[in-house]
Amino acid sequence: MTAIAIDSQPKSVSPTRLRFRDSFRRHPTAIVGGVVLLLMILIAIFAPWLGTIDPQAVSPIRRLKPPSGEFWFGSDMLGRDVYSRVLYGARVSLAVGIAVALLSTLIGLAIGLVTGFIRWLDAIVMRIMDGLMSIPPVLLAIALMALTRASVENVIAAITLAEVPRVVRLVRSLVLTLREQPYVEAAVAAGTTMPRILLRHILPNTVAPLLVQATFVCASAMITEALLSFIGAGTPPNIPSWGNIMAEARSLFQIAGYLILFPGIFLSLTVLAVNLLGDGMRDALDPRLARRM
């Protein structure tokens, strides 16, 4: 009885969720992006069970074989299975993309929140950020990678450092707008402490724009990782990543184009998926921007 009664009740959906869902319906590309991204994440997680062999297993007799029933994506100059390497490569790209998005958002948020409220610190920090932003991000990441040992962790750190100033700028501009809002002034007048104002009144309002920014950071981080690996300053060669596979195939391009084609397609598709998702989220979370961008 009670079960039926509950079922017959109209489900209450918050207006925000309704708007969100509605916007997604109007932006089917965002759904496509989300599905493709989810697929890539599943591929990365379940790579060992998707008909792959050891991505590092060399087989010199069977090197540079074009795609076939045995090697779905062909084999490279050491006879390694490109299909396995590409699937395992998804792990590096996604790990770097997601880690950089998370880290740079959190670090940028912390710095941006504090500088937005402490005036004397603001001047100093923003000059440093201006300086960092004047170094093209790829170049800064290259310089940092040249300083350190090649490893996935260092790639993440280098790209994060290059991305942080842009997040700080965004957070700071949000904070500067938000602190002029009447409800913040009211909180100040009521004697609320600054940490509490930051956490309760400012922080929640930065979430939506930051979420959108994070997806774009994720997309650009994946491209930068591939780019660093491609020029030999990124993920070490013993870990298969899309950039690495393409870097190793550079000199073989004319005879074995598939070596670049498959990782290239996977990389482009993943970045495209993240970008579509980001565009969709921006439109859904900020309808005013939707018309403009």
Partner 1 sequence: MFAYVVRRLGATIVVMAVVAFVVFSLLYLTPGDPAAILAGDAATDDDILRIRAKLGLDEPFFVRFGGWVWALLHGDLGTSIFTNLPVAHLIGQRIEPTVALTVCTLLISVAVAVPLGVIAAAKVGTWVDRAVMAFSVLGFSVPVFVLAYVLIGTFSISLDWLPVQGYRPLREGVWEWFRHMVLPSTVLGIEYIALIARITRASILDVLAQDYVRTAQAKGLSSRAVLLGHALKNAAVPIVTIIGIGIALLIGGAIVTETVFAIPGVGRLTVDAILRRDYPIIQGVILIFSGAYVLINLAVDLSYMYFDPRIRY
The smaller minimum CB distance to partner 1, of residues 99 and 145, is found at 145
Q: Is 75 left (phi over 0), alpha (psi -120 to 50) or beta?
A: beta
* Pair of tokens at residue 176: 């500067």
Return the exposure string of 130-143: e unless at least 16 CB atoms fall within 10 Å of the residue's CB, then b: eebbeeebbebbbe
> DSSP string covering 130-156, please?
HHHHTS-HHHHHHHHHHHS---HHHHH
The smaller minimum CB distance to partner 1, of residues 108 and 137, is found at 137
User: Which residues of this chain interact with partner 1, rule CB under 8 A?
Assistant: 127-128, 130-132, 134-140, 142-148, 219, 223, 226-227, 230-233, 246, 250, 253-254, 257, 260-261, 264, 267-268, 271-272, 275-276, 279, 291-293
What is the closest distance, in whole angstroms, from the C-beta atom of residue 256 to partner 1 in the complex?
11
What is the closest distance, in whole angstroms, from the C-beta atom of residue 260 to partner 1 in the complex?
5
What is the closest distance, in whole angstroms, from the C-beta atom of residue 35 to partner 1 in the complex?
16
The smaller minimum CB distance to partner 1, of residues 28 and 51, is found at 28
What is the closest distance, in whole angstroms, from the C-beta atom of residue 13 to partner 1 in the complex?
29
End-to-end CA distance of the chain: give it in Å, rounded.
Answer: 51
The smaller minimum CB distance to partner 1, of residues 150 and 184, is found at 150
The smaller minimum CB distance to partner 1, of residues 58 and 252, is found at 252
CB-neighbour burial class of residue 96 (10 A; exposed 0-12, middle 13-18, buried 19+): buried
Q: How far apart are CA 84 and CA 99, in angstroms?
A: 23
